[in-house]
């Protein structure tokens, strides 16, 4: 008989902590070793042989680039929250995405991708820096873009910065058996779990909501065991490691992820309502706004809209004025911090994307992206109201 998994709020508090209590401590241990004693050489060799194949150590971690127990605990916790067999942590979100591309077989290096994507991902794919060829398409036409050498389909939902939802299950069905990678950075596991909708790979820039405090750069991939083993091989070969101190902070942050997201998204919902009524705001973009969910997947795919919204103030001039006038809100890129951040995608996060692509994705000169934090809604609204032209 299998017992049902606890609620995700409970999992967030307890996942990846097995054995900690039994060891006589309460907080997670941090292992900063770069090397490990090997008094029994044969046992070390067995463990090394397992790790170079991307498997878990059978004994000693041998050397820090191969394995770290503190990072492994975080990975276990993330896999639990994502409903995945395994998770693999990287030095950044981009390192995680690059590793996913590097695991594709040599004869399957064609990637089909849906725009808009995070500027860095768009650039990595369109520049061919890692030797991949990309075909850009739309959710409706994704099946037609598949070729015999296609190895991966890449999408984001909600998209950055337009907050558009893509129907994960529909894309998966259209491209089967090609694996679909979903960058779910805008929707952490408490509100969206891509693997449950058929995606083969879920990626997070853990720098954002998962870290939640703006002090760790990290990326996490969740997938099945064989793919995780390949990703670990790439991580060992490239050294794109997450430092154990970062892993500790992320794991600690997971405990409050559900309440942070719940609070920030409730504030975001209220700000969307108020911004929509403001005469200087032309359009607001948010997963629950009709235009952002053309296929009506919100109820099926997400348990909440998240805490990022975008709004168009009509011109670059006004956008720059708002960004430079806010006092409480920090004018900065990134998202998912405890404090509220505002940025201008056309100038910053999506600057690296061709202007024509920006235009076709709706990343207009007047667009601002707001990552809502944990402040009181009335204080945030006052700050925005004073910065917007009346
Ligand atoms: C920030 C971000 C990334 C890149 O993550 P880093 O941790 O900065 O490398 C990838 N995808 C999305 C959607 C992001 O917002």
pLDDT tens-digit readout, 59-117:
999 999 999 999 999 999 999 999 999 999 999 999 999 999 999 999 999 999 999 89
Distance 120 CA to ligand 1 centre (A): 7
Least-confidence region, from 16-20, 332-336, 348-352 = 348-352
Q: Are 383 and 317 in contact (CB under 8 A)?
A: no
User: Is the peptide bond preceding residue 232 cis, with omega within 30 degrees of 0?
Assistant: no
Furthest-apart CA atoms within the chain: distance in Å: 74
Distance 281 CA to ligand 1 centre (A): 27
> How many other β-carbons are positioned within 10 Å of the β-carbon of residue 105?
9
Could you tell me which residues are beta bridge partners of residue 363?
Answer: none
Residue 308: strand, helix, or coil: strand
pLDDT score at 263: 98
The closest-lying atom of ligand 1 relative to the alpha carbon of residue 335 is 15
pLDDT score at 352: 78
pLDDT score at 1: 53
pLDDT score at 351: 82
Q: Are 92 and 219 in contact (CB under 8 A)?
A: yes
Q: Are 38 and 66 in contact (CB under 8 A)?
A: no
Residue (of 173, 245, 251) closest to 211 by Cα position: 251
Task: Answer whether residue 2 shows pLDDT above 70.
Answer: no
pLDDT score at 5: 79
> How many other β-carbons are positioned within 10 Å of the β-carbon of residue 68?
24
Instruction: Give the mean model confidence (pLDDT) for residues 331-354.
Output: 91
Instruction: Give the mean model confidence (pLDDT) for residues 199-208.
Output: 98
The closest-lying atom of ligand 1 relative to the alpha carbon of residue 186 is 13
Distance 350 CA to ligand 1 centre (A): 12
Ligand 1 binding pocket (C-beta < 6 A) is: 92-94, 118, 120-121, 156, 160, 183, 185, 205, 207-208, 217, 219
Distance 197 CA to ligand 1 centre (A): 22
Residues across the chain: 390
Query: Which are the contacts of 283, defined by CB distance < 8 A and separation ≥ 6?
Result: 291, 311, 312
Residue 213: strand, helix, or coil: coil
Residue (of 113, 100, 127, 217) closest to 156 by Cα position: 113
Between these two residues, 354 and 182, which has the higher pLDDT value? 182
H-assigned helices in 166-238: 168-175, 225-238
Instruction: Give the mean model confidence (pLDDT) for residues 271-279.
Output: 97
Q: Are 140 and 182 in contact (CB under 8 A)?
A: no
How far apart, in whole angstroms, are the C-alpha atoms of residue 322 and residue 186?
Answer: 23
pLDDT score at 43: 94
Average pLDDT along the chain: 96
Distance 204 CA to ligand 1 centre (A): 7
> How many other β-carbons are positioned within 10 Å of the β-carbon of residue 375?
17
pLDDT score at 57: 97
Give the gyration radius of the chain's Cα atoms.
Answer: 21
CA 243 to chain centre: 18
Instruction: Give the mean model confidence (pLDDT) for residues 316-323.
Output: 96
The closest-lying atom of ligand 1 relative to the alpha carbon of residue 95 is 9
Task: Answer whether residue 357 shows pLDDT above 90.
Answer: no
Instruction: Give the mean model confidence (pLDDT) for residues 151-157.
Output: 98
Q: Are 139 and 157 in contact (CB under 8 A)?
A: no
359 — pLDDT class (breaks 50, 70, 90): confident
| High-pLDDT (> 90) share of the chain, % | 93
> What pTM does this model have?
0.95
Q: Are 319 and 307 in contact (CB under 8 A)?
A: no
Instruction: Give the mean model confidence (pLDDT) for residues 151-177.
Output: 97
Q: Which of 160, 164, 206, 306 to mutate to test the pocket of ligand 1 (most atoms within 8 A of CB)?
A: 160
Q: Are 353 and 387 in contact (CB under 8 A)?
A: no
Task: Give the pairing type, strands 283-285 and 308-312.
Answer: antiparallel
pLDDT score at 106: 94
How far apart, in whole angstroms, are the C-alpha atoms of residue 323 and residue 331?
Answer: 6
Residue 223 phi, psi dihedral angles, 5° rounding: -170, -165
Could you tell me which residues are beta bridge partners of residue 202?
Answer: 182, 222
């Amino acid at each position: 008989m299998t017992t049902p998994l606890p609620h995700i709020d409970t999992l967030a508090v307890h996942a990846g902590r097995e054995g900690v209590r039994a060891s006589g401590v309460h907080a997670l241990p941090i292992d900063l070793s770069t090397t490990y004693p090997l008094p029994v050489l044969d046992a070390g060799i067995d463990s090394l042989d397992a790790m170079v194949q991307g498997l878990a150590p059978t004994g000693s971690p041998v050397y820090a680039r191969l394995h770290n127990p503190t990072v492994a605990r975080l990975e276990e916790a993330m896999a639990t929250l994502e409903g995945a067999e395994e998770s693999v942590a990287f030095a950044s979100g981009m390192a995680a995405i690059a590793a996913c591309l590097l695991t594709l077989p040599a004869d399957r290096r064609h990637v089909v991708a849906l725009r808009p994507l995070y500027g860095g991902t768009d650039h990595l794919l369109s520049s061919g820096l890692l030797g991949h060829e990309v075909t850009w398409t739309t959710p409706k036409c994704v099946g037609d873009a598949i070729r015999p050498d296609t190895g991966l389909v890449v999408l984001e939902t909600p998209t950055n910065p337009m907050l558009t939802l893509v129907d994960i299950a529909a894309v998966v069905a259209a491209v089967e058996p090609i694996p679909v990678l979903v960058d779910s950075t805008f929707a952490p596991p408490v509100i969206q779990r891509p693997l449950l909708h058929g995606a083969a790979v879920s990626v997070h820039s853990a720098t954002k909501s998962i870290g939640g405090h703006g002090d760790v750069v990290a990326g996490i991939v969740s997938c099945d065991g064989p793919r995780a083993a390949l990703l670990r091989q790439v991580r060992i070969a490239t050294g794109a490691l997450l430092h154990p101190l970062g892993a500790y902070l992320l794991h600690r942050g997971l405990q409050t992820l559900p309440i942070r997201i719940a609070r920030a998204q409730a504030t975001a919902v209220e700000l969307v309502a108020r911004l929509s009524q403001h005469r200087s705001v032309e359009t607001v973009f948010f997963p629950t706004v009709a235009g952002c969910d053309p296929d009506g997947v919100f109820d099926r795919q997400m348990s909440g809209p998240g805490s990022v919204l975008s709004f168009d103030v009509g011109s670059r001039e006004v956008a720059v004025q708002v960004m430079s006038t806010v006092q409480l809100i920090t004018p900065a890129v990134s998202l998912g911090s405890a404090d509220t951040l505002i940025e201008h995608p056309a100038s910053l996060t999506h600057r690296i994307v061709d202007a024509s692509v920006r235009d076709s994705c709706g990343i207009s000169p007047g667009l601002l992206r707001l990552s809502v934090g944990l402040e009181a809604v009335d204080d945030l609204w006052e700050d925005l109201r004073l910065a917007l032209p009346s």
